[in-house]
Amino acid sequence: MSKPLYVLGTGLSHNGSAVLLKDGHVCVGIEKERITRIKHDGGNDTDAIQYCLDAEGITLEDVELVVQTANFEIPDRNRFHGKRLFSGTEAPPLISISHHLAHAYSAVGTCDFDDCLVMVIDGCGSPYEQCSDISDNTIIPGKRILELGERMYCEKDSFYHFDGQKMNALFKDFSEVELNPGNDLKLPATKHSIGGFYAAVSRYVFGNMDDVGKLMGLAPYGKAGRIEKEAFKFENGSLLVRDDWQEVFTRPFTGYVFFKDHFQYYADVAFWAQKQVEKAVRWCFENRLERFPGKKVCYSGGVALNAVANAFLLNEGVVSDFYIEPAAGDNGLALGCAYYGWLEVLNRSKVKSDENTCFGRSYSDSEIESALASASESWKILRLETSELLAFTSKKLAEGKTIGWFQDHSEFGPRALGHRSILAHPGIKGLGDHINANIKFREDFRPFAPAVLPEFAATYFKSGRKSPYMILVDDTKAEYVEQLQNVTHVNGTARVQTVDKTWNELFFKLIQAFQKETGMGVLLNTSFNKKGMPIVETPEQALALFKESALDVLVLNHVIISKI
């Protein structure tokens, strides 16, 4: 039997991560924040890499190649925000690639397409001088200015062609970096990026950038026409951020009480910002596809996490055969690094993805029992086989109980897809507000997602499109809005998850069991965490949140814990 071939990818930007490929297929991957419990943690990659090695039961000596990426710099082999695992070693070889190239490979490595176009849009990528993906045929607006090297210019959007083995950069746009902008509406990032604009507005509205996606949740409460300014302009193939829109933004967040007192104002700002982003993203796609026509398109980079803009592209017919990388933000960079090593450096054939994105390690029965023993709480504990567990859990959900659902390998990316989830009935009045207030401890305007059996997606939702990664919104059909009130947002939309039986079997069967109890093939699904904290990774973390919150039941693999 031949020895497995391992390639390690590591992302050292914010939202750091590590991914291990085994013979071209992801065998383990983790975001650093899940280990350190610090939201968006990045920098040094020791913890994330060690997690992957331990989960696979190997050492660095078993790894053929390591590929890394960061943002503004090329990390040193020995130290990067602390000592690295490679310190003092010569093997395995360590190579670096640029930021957008890693985003692009994360998309093509995980999709079904062999030949496709790839769009990358984010807030800030690598400096021009560090972009190894540029060829003589790559179109670069303002290239002469970049080559002067007088200021730092970084990637903001890139467009590629992937032929099944190699990536070719067709069009790359760069923007000057403002490291000390001296303005709440300008960030230390690229001056003219969509991601930078959205993050700046998020900081203006919420006072931080802990969860930029909150703007999407707030926007439906806003009204059109309250702000007349345009945020972007388009010149010679480049998208530019205007300055004059900032003149009307004179009430930045000063605290949550102030935010609540001026809720409609901030909702109107969020509505405006979301529409501006949709317009800008559409222009980028239309412009690049006009220059380089193609039907199959992959999409990555932080802006690709905007589920509303993604659905807008499909609804408007801008794209049709469209794949959005589930970990499209910087947490997916390690994926791209690993696939670059496999496809480009080792020149190995692409291995077809099974579409599963649950790359974390699993936890044994003995580890769960140890965590329970350490918790030392007076809880009712049952240990059930699969059929009994599904029957018990679905019955509790039908009764209106909230369930912490912890199963097998954790998800890689920002969405809980049925392995580290909080679950509830989608239609019991007030249950969504209860989860926000007493379990998630977050703002009351934040929506929840419906997890639906694929065969019923078109029954409940307007398009009924496939959406296994909770990265597209749809419209709830009017006749089901009341039945799905906890997963339908104020504007009638829902960020749908169609649950795939092939890689999410137990969650699929749970929704089937719930349907037998209630007649509804939909569950409320939200991530198993509270505001400001990463999704739980270990049984101990799940038990801690169960104890702290108003969750009624916790399911740890086949162990059911109920509060007395």
pLDDT digits (tens, 9 = 90+) for 338-383: 999 999 999 999 999 999 999 999 999 999 999 999 987 789 999 9
Q: Mean pLDDT, to the nearest integer, of 398-424?
A: 98
Q: Mean pLDDT, to the nearest integer, of 283-304?
A: 97
Question: In angstroms, what CA-CA distances link 135 with 84, 131, 238, 310, 471?
Answer: 32, 10, 19, 29, 32
Collapsed DSSP state (helix, strand, coil) of residue 234: strand
Query: In this predicted model, what pLDDT tens digit does every residue of 414-466 receive, in sequence order?
Result: 999 999 999 999 999 999 999 999 999 999 999 999 999 999 999 999 999 99
| Res 478: pLDDT | 98
**260: how many CB neighbours lie within 10 A of its CB?**
11
Residue 138 has pLDDT above 70, yes or no: yes
- Give the pLDDT band of residue 1 (cuts 50, 70, 90): low
Residue 259 half-sphere exposure, CB side, CA atoms within 13 Å? 18
| Averaged pLDDT of the chain | 95
Q: Mean pLDDT, to the nearest integer, of 161-185?
A: 84
**18: how many CB neighbours lie within 10 A of its CB?**
30
**Cα-Cα-Cα-Cα dihedral sign, residues 125, 128, 134, 136:** positive
pTM attached to this predicted model: 0.96
Q: Mean pLDDT, to the nearest integer, of 470-475?
A: 98
Residue 184 has pLDDT above 60, yes or no: no
Residue 178 has pLDDT above 80, yes or no: no
Residue 253, sorted as left (phi over 0), alpha (psi -120 to 50) or beta, turns out to be beta
Round to whole Å and give the CA distance between 133 and 156.
14
99 and 333 Cβ atoms separated by less than 8 Å:
yes
Residue 194 half-sphere exposure, CB side, CA atoms within 13 Å? 28
- For residue 217, what are the β-bridge partners? none
| Res 9: pLDDT | 98
Query: In this predicted model, what pLDDT tens digit does every residue of 28-61 receive, in sequence order?
Result: 999 999 999 999 999 999 999 999 999 999 999 9
- Give the pLDDT band of residue 75 (cuts 50, 70, 90): very high
| Res 564: pLDDT | 82
Domains of the chain, earliest start first: 6-100+333-345 (3.30.420.40), 113-324 (3.30.420.40), 365-563 (3.90.870.20)
40 and 210 Cβ atoms separated by less than 8 Å:
yes
